[in-house]
Structure 1
């Protein structure tokens, strides 16, 4: 039974979801605040469910020997070291949809609060003043709303803006023309153009190396003096000192911030600037949203631990519960293909091409391709250096191009996967399929047909097709004490290149391999492990 640690406050209903799905739960809602204690105990769990209080650092992950999944109840994962988790093969999930409405509504509320100076007017009225003329506001109807980042939350804000009869423009490199049309917004090609046109700018982006200080002093200077800036996304997207200066100098009408570069924000340049509305990161702070994300993270983690389904992962391809059993036999095929190619390839890999023919071509290819890539890179980089989660990133870092092709059923087997590896010196391919017993079979190597089931230990040779080779090889293996369990042969043509793939009882030692290579007909010999 998998075991999950909940180190932040989740609802009783979320805890019960884990139990109902067959997952053992250890609910310690205050543990996340004690990093030292968390590091001591985290190694005993398969899953870690958190909110924002728990900081899952590289040091914590180093201690998490059996951890398979980290689930964040919420959108932001600034408190999780995703690269460290990926390197260990730990799936990191969040719940991007559970608080979309709540956060979008808060952004709209902040927009109104700024436009009508509601917090300042409230404080003035409570102080016994009646300063109607001082708090002259501005209408939003007919104004231009600029949405920077038009994903889940930004999309909701955009539709709310349309409902308020605002002209909505959006900047998002990933926003398609069809999606923009559906939302009723105009897509803007650059953030600079959006800033010059918008009366209200609202940010809905993650904080990354590319988006940190996205609105710096130069870009803030592009905004209209009558414009207002809303940030209910992530702290650090805006140069807060530059914004405070613009407000103080009257170069901007107002701002409303729910998030700050350092939180909890005890002091901040914006606190001392005029016409600013500040709230303490309340975007997701509704009872409905907190319950929704807690339930969602419990469901997602339980589905992964019990069924292999992956939803809303930030470092792994998504796999539905329905897809998982269909993928399983083809994952085994992809593992075998990648392991074979990785062990026989001797030169730097430039490109891998994967053809999914027939049945596997109808499946979700991302987990299959990740499996092939990881299995191929392991022999080259070391067992602990790469896994299914980190493989795409590791391949990219090493300049390995990866391509996928779906093809209709063809050939004698109908459905199979072919892996082609392009190196600096040659191009080679290997293909495998699933037999009726559910196990993988190699069906072609280097364009030569054969049939071989992967074995824990195997010997692969390429040789000249000459009489007496099989007898010579068998005699040599017998003399070396290597027992053959299975034997598959194939050749390109009579007298041409031939291959042999043998299952053996034990790994062929290096000294024995050297004697096999010394046989006059042998061109190459490799000891393989699967």
Structure 2
């Protein structure tokens, strides 16, 4: 992807109020449109023109909206939860969804403690009473929190911060979280339990800090509230819907619970006469309008965080906090980035060069990616996997308009029946490069293993049935191809390339140049690739046998004619314009070329 400074300015839509500090980061290189107050129809109408969408919690990013957003590359949620975004649909469309899981942690934790103390000491009711001219000290006696037990469901970043603040108040803290680290819990003096049945009866105060998922929706309902001791209190500063609002209202009205503090609701703002509205009006409920992240500092933090990620994604880098992509550490991605570009080019080169005469489906569905040298030391190679799938699919007309990236590469590979085997070898003795990546395309054993709908209508020729090998390396950030099957070469995989397979005989270059000149095709560069008998590659047993590799990928026992003979060579020509099919045919018929393929990279 070109630098943002040189590329067409991307357009970013911001339909909700965000801190100006983050948006200022975008305005230097992006076109930012702040459009608060859009309704769903208006948003749907204008979204096709935008490359990025920045939202908070009010905007509903639905499947319909995402499908209409033909240019959209990233949805950024300025906050923690993403339940207002259809993440599954975004993943299928290759749209990165990012959030800011750390920007409002302190704000949410502090608000939890503020509500806990307000509820314990009747602060809201006392404030209302004294402003009404009353002095009701005896009626508004509260309870101390020191020595009480705070039970926490969800010991993530917010839950752990709440636990530490509660310990500072002298509270005992227990928690339920199957994914929590026992060591981290112990360092915060938190007692981990294994079930709600074990947690709830101990609680004087219960607080929830989990995302809203199918498994957490309504997780605290009638039966769970009944397990709480009489006179206990409950808080929700996480997500509306984790607590059954009707069950909570019943427990308050019965007197089983002494109080509740609620910052989030199933519908925001709650509809008049709804259960949530009745909860807000209840005298033993302290309610706030979703203020958990509403501090100046938190809004600045999350705005800067997500805006930085939007910039990174539009520049082609990986996000720090994608909810629908695997985490790749920045130091790993920095090492991988040149090879991401290389592997994508290798995949595209394979499809265009080796399957250029196929008009039907892509025949090979199994590929081996072999990493050698320094690049093999990087364990997380998901960006390289994604780059290969993108390279393989982009030249195919059926993938037009599909944004293939690390978000949806695995899903697309599974849908298309593409299998990629990755191998790592740190042994530098087999090649002269500090890092080497090889792509081995394996022929299916029979036609039924081909990918595509019309596999019975075309059968690959003997040349197409060979195993094919492309190897490459990077010189700094510059990708280089140094092997095409048995041919040793060195060229940059960029622009329009004409690859001619021919017998290495005097005058061949002149003939090819003459035919291209006749068609006003200018040659920018030329590389001649002879057959080499010393092109090693490591392949695990059972994938390719040694004879296949040493014979340039020819299928053992197959009649390959002169293919692979020592007299064969490749000409790789960089040309200034696309070469028409009739010109390629003329090279074969008039120029004595065995085959000619045109590749655009």
TM-score by structure 2 length? 0.68
Unaligned 5+ runs, structure 1: 462-467, 517-521
Q: Does 1:208 align with 2:213?
A: yes
Q: Find the counterpart in structure 1 of residue 289 from structure 2.
A: 280
Q: Find the counterpart in structure 1 of residue 462 from structure 2.
A: none
Q: Find the counterpart in structure 2 of residue 60 from structure 1.
A: 65
Return the match for 2:275 from 266, 269, 280: 269
Q: Is the 1:256–1:278 contact (alpha carbons within 8 Å) kept by the matching residues of 2?
A: yes
Q: How far did residue 261 of structure 1 move?
A: 0.8
Q: Separation in 1 of the partners of 2:225 and 2:112?
A: 19
Q: Find the counterpart in structure 1 of residue 388 from structure 2.
A: 372
Q: Is the 1:231–1:259 contact (alpha carbons within 8 Å) kept by the matching residues of 2?
A: yes
Q: Find the counterpart in structure 2 of residue 223 from structure 1.
A: 228
Q: Does 1:416 align with 2:433?
A: no
Q: How far did residue 164 of structure 1 move?
A: 1.9
Q: Separation in 2 of the partners of 1:246 and 1:490?
A: 81
Larger Cα-atom Rg: 2
Matches within 5 A, 1:15-94: 15-19=23-27, 22-30=28-36, 32-94=37-99
Q: Find the counterpart in structure 2 of residue 519 from structure 1.
A: none
Matches within 5 A, 1:6-405: 6-19=14-27, 22-30=28-36, 32-127=37-132, 131-266=136-271, 267-272=273-278, 275-306=284-315, 308=317, 310-317=319-326, 326-339=335-348, 346=363, 355=371, 357-359=373-375, 361-362=377-378, 365-376=381-392, 382-385=399-402, 387-388=404-405, 389-395=407-413
Q: Is the 1:54–1:79 contact (alpha carbons within 8 Å) kept by the matching residues of 2?
A: yes
**Using a 3 Å threshold, how does the CA distance of structure 1 residues 12 and 326 change in structure 2: closer, same or farther?**
same
**Using a 3 Å threshold, how does the CA distance of structure 1 residues 375 and 307 change in structure 2: closer, same or farther?**
closer
SS at match of 1:283: coil
Q: Is the 1:340–1:528 contact (alpha carbons within 8 Å) kept by the matching residues of 2?
A: yes
Q: Separation in 1 of the partners of 2:469 and 2:189?
A: 49
SS at match of 1:85: helix
**Using a 3 Å threshold, how does the CA distance of structure 1 residues 38 and 268 change in structure 2: closer, same or farther?**
closer
Q: Separation in 2 of the partners of 1:399 and 1:223?
A: 52
Q: How far did residue 387 of structure 1 move?
A: 1.0
Q: Find the counterpart in structure 1 of residue 456 from structure 2.
A: none
Map Cα deviations across residues 381-438 of structure 1 (whole Å, 9 max, x no partner): 7344461121234457789887866653524333123567899969998654224682
**Using a 3 Å threshold, how does the CA distance of structure 1 residues 356 and 127 change in structure 2: closer, same or farther?**
farther
**Using a 3 Å threshold, how does the CA distance of structure 1 residues 428 and 458 change in structure 2: closer, same or farther?**
same
Query: Comparing 363-372 with 180-189, which one deviates more in the overlay?
Result: 363-372
Unaligned 5+ runs, structure 2: 356-361, 450-466, 534-548, 555-562, 589-593
Count of residue correspondences: 503
Q: Find the counterpart in structure 1 of residue 540 from structure 2.
A: none
Q: Find the counterpart in structure 2 of residue 464 from structure 1.
A: none
**Using a 3 Å threshold, how does the CA distance of structure 1 residues 240 and 27 change in structure 2: closer, same or farther?**
same
Matches within 5 A, 1:380-529: 382-385=399-402, 387-388=404-405, 389-395=407-413, 407-408=425-426, 410=428, 411-418=431-438, 431-435=471-475, 438-441=478-481, 443=483, 451=489, 454=493, 489=531, 492-493=549-550, 497=554
**Using a 3 Å threshold, how does the CA distance of structure 1 residues 391 and 100 change in structure 2: closer, same or farther?**
same
**Using a 3 Å threshold, how does the CA distance of structure 1 residues 368 and 182 change in structure 2: closer, same or farther?**
farther
